[in-house]
Amino acid sequence: MLLLGPAPASARAVPLDAERAAARIVDAWAVQPRDRWGTPIDPVSGLPGYRYSQAMLASAALGLPAPTAEQRAFAEHLLLWLSAQGPHTPPSVFEIGAAADAYTRLPPSSRARALLHDWLKTAPARVWIKTPPRNPLNRWMVEAEGALARCRIAGLPNRRALCALGRTFVTRTFPAAARRWTTVGRDGRRVTVMSDPTDNPIAYHHLTLGYFAHALSRLARVPRAARRVLVQMARGTVAITAPDGDAAYWGRSQGTSWTLAFGAYGLRRAQRFTTRAEAARFEHTAQSLLSRYRDRHEGGPVGVAIVPAYRDDPLTRHVGLDSYANVATYAGLTAMALSRLARTTPRVPARAAPSTGHAQDRGNGAFATARARGTWLAVRAHGHRTGDPRYDFGLVAAKHRTPAGWHDLVASRPAPGARPAPAGPLLTVGGVTGKPDGESVAVAANGTVTVRGGWRGPDGAWLRRASFTFRPTATGVIITLPVRARDEITYCVFAGDPQLVDGAVVDRGVRTSLSLASSGTQEPESYASASDRRLARVVLSGVVPSSGVARVVIETAGV
């Protein structure tokens, strides 16, 4: 039986004030230096922010429950600048939707209103959405939500088309596509995890949930199918989220601040369409997300650390970020989500429920989460065709409960470095090395995650079939794999400050060991993730003396 222990200290603290957090970001950017056209300069890149940074900051400022005169003036300035941008650079769907939302909140006397209305007239009605899409991308939901925002603005030449586009997508097209990404949980309820198929980076599940929830809030009546999918996606966020609120621990946009804000907003909106008991659980997860935001992201010279690694060094470019990540843009996106959240109220008080674990056995993003004996873990069932460690097979996150809160047992996987860095466990037999991969993933009642698959050789064919188990223990996690005599097994550990002690890797109060007589080697290259500006990769390897099983043991060491 899986039991829910006491909440960590951060979850018991005063909840995050979403209005205050959004206002901190807006106010921080209002005093940033500007270029000669009045565009705020991103202090990290030294370049003007992207156009949709300005639209989102304006939407966030005007969307606050009680914006100040200074915040209104800042938003108006940004919208005047945006309105002056010609059609030579097509606007993005993020920019269009945020600008439309801001327009609906401008006072009638605003000098930006007429100019922004003219700018919105030139925005295309359709950019990305295809009908019917088999695998909708997050930006298609953003486009649909923006279409519904523009649908409410009188005088636009394509208003009828915008209304039909937005409503059809969120009430029919998206719910139909979501069926492919829906599974039945251990409690018998349907759960949907859907972001950008087929890889499904989980950051974009939360983004899609938040935009979907906001799109539905613009409808006078929400059809049953759309309500059902919103609740199922909220359950997906509950299934993904760690007890400490960590909710974007694999894939691109790993660990970003906006995932927490959009996830919490979507959970809050979904509460009205489910039972009071489930609404209380949604609110509990929302509070976990917001507690993490407060502890890892809130504050600093730009109002937010867009990833935890910016917390202590907020004005230096971070190589662990994706190339497209921009501080101004992500700050604006976060502020907009927080301002939307600030206009909601919980349906019921937060209340935790026993966790039974969840396996989402769909596509390249197949994963499982489980919790037992004071340990929580998340396992990916597949590797990634490009070799990005953030999508690699295996234990992508694990946490152990201590008196001080939840302690990370594994570091966040790093962004791609100079050369491939698979985590393993790798199998070398007859001079050929295979990488682990799964065909199915399941969670047992005791919290053990089983991935059935094996190792694939360099050509993609099966080198050997096998099943891998990931079992939570009272001190950590044990990974078990079947082996044969003379196999060579390699397991890689990413660590902030590793030490090799008796063949094991010790780092930040966690000990990782291989059950074989193994050697450890620290590579000279360094890596970086959303949480760590520098990570080392330590390779543990050993040769199997006789057939049986090998184990990787990850356990607390003096925490």
Rounded CA Rg of the chain: 24
Domain ranges of the chain: 9-314+322-342, 366-556
331-to-208, 255, 267, 370 alpha-carbon distances in Å: 18, 14, 21, 32
Instruction: For residues 219 and 330, give the distance between their C-alpha atoms in angstroms, rounded to a whole number.
Output: 27
Supply the DSSP symbol for 310: G
Residue in the block written with tokens 């222990």: 5
Q: What is the pTM of this model?
A: 0.95
Contact indicator for 320, 417 with CB cutoff of 8 Å: no
**CATH number of this structure's domain 9-314+322-342, picked from the four choices 1.10.3720.10, 3.10.20.90, 1.50.10.10, 3.40.50.2300:** 1.50.10.10
Which residues have C-beta within 8 Å of that of residue 458, sequence separation ≥ 6?
Answer: 432, 433
Determine the pLDDT at residue 13: 55
Determine the pLDDT at residue 10: 41
Determine the pLDDT at residue 6: 35
Determine the pLDDT at residue 469: 98
Instruction: For residues 307 and 252, give the distance between their C-alpha atoms in angstroms, rounded to a whole number.
Output: 12
Determine the pLDDT at residue 88: 59
- Specify the CATH number of the domain 366-556: 2.70.98
Dihedral angle over CA of 193, 196, 198, 202, nearest 10 = -50
Contact indicator for 153, 117 with CB cutoff of 8 Å: yes
Instruction: For residues 15 and 340, give the distance between their C-alpha atoms in angstroms, rounded to a whole number.
Output: 16
Determine the pLDDT at residue 131: 67
Determine the pLDDT at residue 553: 97
Provide the residue-wise pLDDT of the chain in tens; the chain has 559 residues: 233 333 344 444 567 999 999 999 999 999 988 887 777 788 888 887 778 889 999 999 999 999 999 999 999 999 999 998 875 577 889 999 999 999 999 999 999 999 999 999 988 888 888 766 667 789 999 999 999 999 999 999 999 999 999 999 999 999 999 999 999 988 899 999 998 887 889 999 999 999 999 999 999 999 999 999 999 999 999 999 999 999 999 999 999 999 999 999 999 999 999 999 999 999 999 999 999 999 999 999 999 999 999 998 988 888 899 988 889 999 999 999 999 999 999 999 999 988 779 999 988 899 999 999 999 999 999 987 778 899 999 999 999 999 989 999 999 999 988 788 889 999 999 999 999 999 999 999 999 999 999 999 999 999 999 999 999 999 999 999 999 999 999 999 999 999 999 889 999 999 999 999 778 888 888 999 999 999 999 999 999 999 999 999 999 986 5
Determine the pLDDT at residue 5: 35
Instruction: For residues 40 and 493, give the distance between their C-alpha atoms in angstroms, rounded to a whole number.
Output: 41
